[in-house]
Amino acid sequence: QFIQHYLRPVKTSFSCSGPSMLKAATIATTSTNARLHLVLRSLSSRMYTTGAPEELLVEKRVGVTSFVLNRPKALNALNLNQIKMFTPELKHAEEDSNVKMVMLSGAGEKAFCAGGDIKALYNGKEDRASQMDFFAEEYRLDHLTHTISKPYIALIDGITMGGGVGLSVHGRYRVATERSVFAMPETAIGFFPDVGGSYFLPRLKNNLGMYFALTGARIKGEDLVHAGIATHFVPSERMQSLKDRLYSVAPAAPAGDGAFELVENVLKEHAEAPSTENSVFLPHLQQIKETFGAQSVNEIFAALEKSDTEFAKKTLATLQKMSPLSLKVTFAGIRKGGFLKTLADCLAMEYRIAFHTMESHDFYEGVHSVLINKDKTAEWNPSSVEKVEDEQVMKYFKPCEGFDDLDLTIVDSEQ
């Protein structure tokens, strides 16, 4: 239901102002200092777009490269076109010694990024190469946000799901607001929490990662900091001030560790301690820790069935709607990911899972039920967790027939 709610269109606009290079260059009668001032102002605020129809905006100022996901009517859902524009620009920012920090945000007030282009994968059922190209390109970009040697600041102001999580959670700084909504709802469509979910989810405390992965539970605002998804909480009314402050300090920012220290000081100036008053999961933290620390999905179901709490009843009802096979594949992936050393290792594993998921009945059934037909009456196969065999699950971790494994050769700078 919440997936459909977030897919409603939203109107927005995005603009940029500042004198052009041409204007600065043609003021011949202006003094040298004034002429230089105009040129520097122009250079420090240049917005340009690549691709059509302007799905990714890239703003280059002195010391900062800023990216804006610009598909507000689709809640900034990530497609292959954006990914292929984003990656080389992010690599350039990494290599350019004049760039001291990178910022990422989403256009509009509704969403940072509501996920990946699931419908494109669904429609590409007969074109496995295109499907796997999407996953490979997306995972490479996610990995780059993790390994970049400069401050990477994701302003997750709004809905942040699936692909949006992959673009933000692996970076050094993740700034949430009261409008932030986090979820990994993939098991509801016969998929699994990818984009590095097998890396960051098992590293959350109190088995929260397993809880989020299996249930697709939503958390909002300050809860993102309590969970470890966000690093800072900044009220949305201060977001523009935060951006302006980062832009103002970037030109004089030192290279290396000094830039990180500068960014952290600016974030501290604008952030506030997250309240626990309206938390949706903290009151149930002990039960989450005990229940989702079980050794199997079947044990999780059994524990919830034995409990008489309202939380347990609602959680069990949620899990019973999910794809049983996806629940077990997700459980196995999260457990395995907890033992893998790097994000690159986890993404390589997820690439295999994605390949086999594209062959599965449940993915196409789930997407059709939730996103196409919207009747929410998926007929899962197998129909219950008891009927899912271990051999079915293990198949998802085997090599991809006809495709090489995903090789992320960039040295991982694990955080």
Please give the positions annotated as active site. 116, 163, 186, 194
Instruction: Label residue 375 exposed, middle or buried (CB < 10 Å: 0-12, 13-18, 19+).
Output: exposed
Q: How far apart are CA 394 and CA 396, in angstroms?
A: 5
In terms of DSSP bridges, do strands 64-69 and 56-61 run parallel, antiparallel, or are they unpaired? antiparallel
- Using CA atoms, how far residue 307 sits from 148, 166, 288, 302, 304, in Å, is 45, 34, 12, 9, 5
DSSP 13-75: --------HHHHHT-TTS-HHHHHHHHHHHHTSEEEEESTT--EEEEEETTEEEEEE--GGGT
- Cβ within 8 Å of residue 5, ≥6 positions away: none
Q: How far apart are CA 412 and CA 31, in angstroms?
A: 50
- Using CA atoms, how far residue 411 sits from 72, 147, 414, in Å, is 34, 7, 9
Q: How far apart are CA 373 and CA 84, in angstroms?
A: 30
Specify the amino acid at residue 29: T
Q: How far apart are CA 151 and CA 260, in angstroms?
A: 6
3-class secondary-structure state, position 233: strand
Distance of CA 91 to the CA centre of its chain: 18
Specify the amino acid at residue 133: D
